[in-house]
Amino acid sequence: MYDVPDQRGRLAVVTGANSGTGKEAAKRLAGAGADVVLAVRTPAKGEQARAEILAAHPRAAVHVRRLDLADLSSVAEFADGLIADGRPLSLLLNNAGVMMLPKRMETVDGFELQLASNYLGPFALTVRLLPLLLAAGAARVATMSSGTAARGRIDLDDLQSAHDYSPFAAYARSKLADLMLTLHLADIAAERGWSLLSSGAHPGYTRTNLTTSGPNLGGKVSLGNRISFRIMPSQGVERGAEPLLYAATSPDAVAGGYYGPRWGLVGHATKVRPTNRALDKAVRARLWAESERLTGVSVPATV
């Protein structure tokens, strides 16, 4: 098991921290001494996760704050609240997401739900929190992608899958976008000389409610998906959270690094190669610019 280094004195935000890899990551960060903010859509579920974490680590500092990544006003409210607190942010773990919605659904902002929850919301959150991250010194942004990113395509003419929606294709696109966010933010940090490390992770096939909550939203899980979810090699959240924790805390993690299970779907965390499609700097730059336009959030000229 990956041993999280001492995090005392550091503030960490973990999105989607009420269950799965998010809750496990928050628990282990709290156990290592970090002050942890559980950023969750449903506060009651966040409070339940907080109680579980405190049961394991009674002296931990764990806080619950509401954040709906599919609603840009919620992202702004959450970020403004942290900025008002004024405390530098050492760790941002972009973990939350939804997976393979059977039908195309739109958010209150008019975005396709998977793209909004998995990418546009985390993008807006990351950019809004840059002042706090840069104030921390040696801060990190760790963003959860997926092995399915290798099958994703960025179509800037139909980024919202309005003309051609497929549950898997839309999910893979959002996860490829997450990986591109990771790499482009690393490029920006290097160009501007920021003390900020942006790295990415994927959990392999980890047993969480991600494989059921999304596919059951607005429809039913297909028979093919039900079979594949049962027969593929899988692992528990203790192992599945490790690539994200490694990206966020390991002294060996590097800017633009990408970490996942040793054997693809399962295994201990190790450095893996991003899919070739994520390495196209021109497409990454265009996606970033389009994301700024869609969210109305952009990196200031000076931070």
Is residue 205 part of the annotated active site? The answer reads no
Distance of CA 23 to the CA centre of its chain: 13
Q: How many residues does the chain have?
A: 303
- DSSP assigned state of 117: I
Token pair belonging to 137:
């010194």
237 close to 121: Cβ distance less than 8 angstroms = no
b/e string for 227-247 if b means 16 or more Cβ within 10 A? eeeeeeebbebebbbbbbbbb
Which is the catalytic residue, given 171, 205, 258, 259? 171
Q: What does the alpha-carbon distance between residue 255 and residue 19 come to, in Å, rounded to a whole number?
A: 27
For every residue of 56-124, DSSP letters joined together read H-TT-EEEEEE--TT-HHHHHHHHHHHHHHT----EEEE-------SS--B-TTS-BHHHIIIIIHHHH
Find the helix or strand (DSSP H, E) in which 40 lies: strand 35-40
Active site residue ranges: 171
